[in-house]
Amino acid sequence: MKYIDEFRNKNLVKGLSNKIRRIMPNQKINIMEVCGTHTQNFFRFGLDKIIPQNLRLISGPGCPVCVSTQDYIDTAINLSQRKDAIILTFGDMLRIPGTHSTLEKERARLGNIAVIYSPLDSLKIAKDNPNKKIVFLAVGFETTAPTIALTMISAKKEKLTNLFFLSSLKVIPPAMDYLLKDKKLNLSGFLCPGHVSAVIGVKSYEFIPKRYKIGCCVTGFEPADILEGIYILLRQIIENKPGVANQYRRVVNRQGNTKAIKIIDRVFEIRDDSWRGLGRIPNSGLGIRDRFACLNAHIQFKIPTKFGKHDSVVTPCRCGEVLKGLISPDECSLFRKKCNPQHPIGPCMVSIEGACNAYYKYY
């Protein structure tokens, strides 16, 4: 197949749905889709209506906006109070709640927080504002890390002394490992994220069937992709042959993008990191290497690294439980009533990749 429309063909989707129904066992099966785009498209295309009721797809923590901690947002807000600073961010970060405010509110008040669409834009902004300290909020997973790393390499090469990066970059496999240790979830398999997997490769998930005896499938984002991924996982469960399947072969291979991996490794090193609603997860973050310390906002602005016990939003918001897959968004008492995309209380409602946002729009 060559075109997107082919992956949305009604007959193909209906055929895959029927195949799933024919092999679906009687017991309840929980599959977690790690990526926020999977969550959005699962509901956007109504796939929840055409799979068996005893097959539950759980939204995981695959939304970088949703797992950005309050401490990180508070730090960014504190930096924005400097008269000599310009804060650069992706647009979906603006409305994430910190402890007392958001970047959106501070932007309206101070006017020194700018939205950019590529990390490379920060290079021009730094050159155009030599008397300002430019701080880019480096947020994302393995997908965005290569571009941010290339930007940092360019900034160092061009000897830009007024550009800094506040890293909250995270890596997905350790978070999956963390979730599998929580027996409450009772997971039977994972739909692994397609974009992340294009960088890190299928091999990054091989520890899952070996260590936990459950299967996973790297899956694309169109309706046919998602349903085929579910079918592949069900076959693994029925046959009791857990493994790592690759439904998204048109984009992902076993080794991943080795050039991108080398670029990431040149600039970043693995470290422990905090995930909003989950807490501290070992080896789940990308810290800036010492050779790029001149660009590290944590070092240059003497910002301490903190690890909160839970880094969750203020109760009664239950985003932490949603991110773990322990509850569905509609089980939160705030959902729709007080929390909605126009007035989000928690980060899962802010981002278009958030589970609460998807439930609100399509469920």
Q: Which domains does the chain have, with CATH numbers?
A: 1-311 (3.40.50.11750), 319-362 (no CATH)
pLDDT at 320: 85
Q: Which of the listed ranges 129-143, 310-324, 348-362 does the model predict with the highest average pLDDT?
A: 129-143
Task: Count CB-CB contacts under 10 A for residue 295.
Answer: 23
pLDDT band at 305 (very low <50, low <70, confident <90, very high): low
Percent of the chain with pLDDT over 70: 96
- Round to whole Å and give the CA distance between 200 and 208: 15
Q: Is 36 exposed, middle or buried (0-12, 13-18, 19+ CB in 10 A)?
A: buried
Range 8-16 average pLDDT? 93
Q: Are 275 and 170 in contact (CB under 8 A)?
A: yes
Q: How confident is the model at residue 309 (pLDDT cuts 50, 70, 90)?
A: very low
Question: How many CA atoms does the CB half-sphere of 19 hold within 13 Å?
Answer: 16
Using the predicted structure, report yes or no on whether residue 307 has a pLDDT greater than 60.
no
The stretch 88-110 carries a mean pLDDT of 92
Which of 2-6, 40-44, 47-51, 170-174 is the least confident region? 2-6
Calculate the average pLDDT of the chain: 92
- pLDDT tens profile 227-263: 999 999 999 999 999 999 999 999 999 999 999 999 9
